[in-house]
Structure 1
């Protein structure tokens, strides 16, 4: 019960300040007004609709980046030549903040789902690619030698040897990707929402 005293005093002080000194402020609303707005948005369904849109765009962007990161990371991990050719491109594009691409994405896709998904996919691609490549590089080399001796095709090597070996790291990459996707999806909506 004592743990609730400080938050209650803080909320009460904010309510009092917002109703007296901060009246007319567009930035800070009284907590009671925020609770009323939350209840209204919940009752008319707009909160659930907006939440579903955000979660859907984050999930779609994560799915696209997971597929792209898995394919490219596997290619760069298995082929030393591809890794050398792609190194500069990856290292130049990876540090670009995804939020900096919002204006470009708006020009290309306009407002809406495609724009948000493209920015989320760009943001999540790099951790998926880098962690997949690292996982592929750590596959036991003797297993790959055995696969070559058995004359397995590239697809068979991936399905029977590389894929099972990298699954634990893929879950780490997906967990990281989920957090990035949600943060970027919300940021894109705040920065680019025309409403």
Structure 2
């Protein structure tokens, strides 16, 4: 069980980190530049509804079995909440903050680092929490469907061995992991942002 847990969490966290970097970069860019957002809107809204599991045949051909394929699917599934919520967070920044940055003649990089990210971070963390749950769900789903590693594959092995007790144990263990992950992120959110965390939740 510990080996299977390690494999699942390794893929889930790697995909979550990759999707966070990609989604945050794209979300900030689209939030800051409306012309790019309008140009990319059709492309994003066409690709976003594609179920991540539907990409399994393509990912399997391109990457084969193993971590790389699972990480790619998790990244695709998790990038959208982070992209959309970070874009909304950037657009929701107090306009006077941006006016101050322009008055101080901050460079684009300094605006992002000193104004945009700090002001939108509480909402971005909410997106990260949401994506963390999605990462675990998708990782286990990929393992159940096709990838012979992790907790999902262990569930399928228990099914083939006609061990419903073992299947139930794995399912409960996945639930415990998901609860612990979300609880840890909630505590981190409250300690990092205080009352601002409630604003991010409400938004």
Within-5 A mapping of 1:170-181: 170-181=124-135
Deviation of the 1:56 alpha carbon? 0.6
Say whether residues 1:127 and 2:85 are aligned partners.
Answer: no
Q: Can you give the 5+ residue segments of structure 1 that lack an aligned partner in the other structure?
A: 1-46
Deviation of the 1:193 alpha carbon? 2.6
Paired with 1:129 and 1:81, the residues of 2 have a C-alpha distance of 16
| Counterpart position of 2:47 | 93
Secondary structure of the equivalent of 1:193? coil
| Counterpart position of 2:172 | none
Paired with 2:87 and 2:10, the residues of 1 have a C-alpha distance of 27
Deviation of the 1:114 alpha carbon? 0.3
| Counterpart position of 2:185 | none
What TM-score results when the alignment is normalised by the length of structure 1? Answer: 0.75
Q: Give the greater-gyration-radius structure (CA).
A: 1
| Residue deviations 1:62-115 (CA, integer Å, cap 9, x gap) | 000000000000000000111011111110011110010111100110000000
Paired with 1:98 and 1:139, the residues of 2 have a C-alpha distance of 31
| Counterpart position of 1:67 | 21
Paired with 1:150 and 1:159, the residues of 2 have a C-alpha distance of 14
Match of 1:143 among 73, 91, 97: 97
The answer to whether the 8 Å contact 2:90/2:120 transfers is yes
Secondary structure of the equivalent of 2:65? coil
The answer to whether the 8 Å contact 2:70/2:147 transfers is no
| Residue deviations 1:120-154 (CA, integer Å, cap 9, x gap) | 00000000000000000001112112211211001
Match of 2:4 among 34, 38, 50: 50
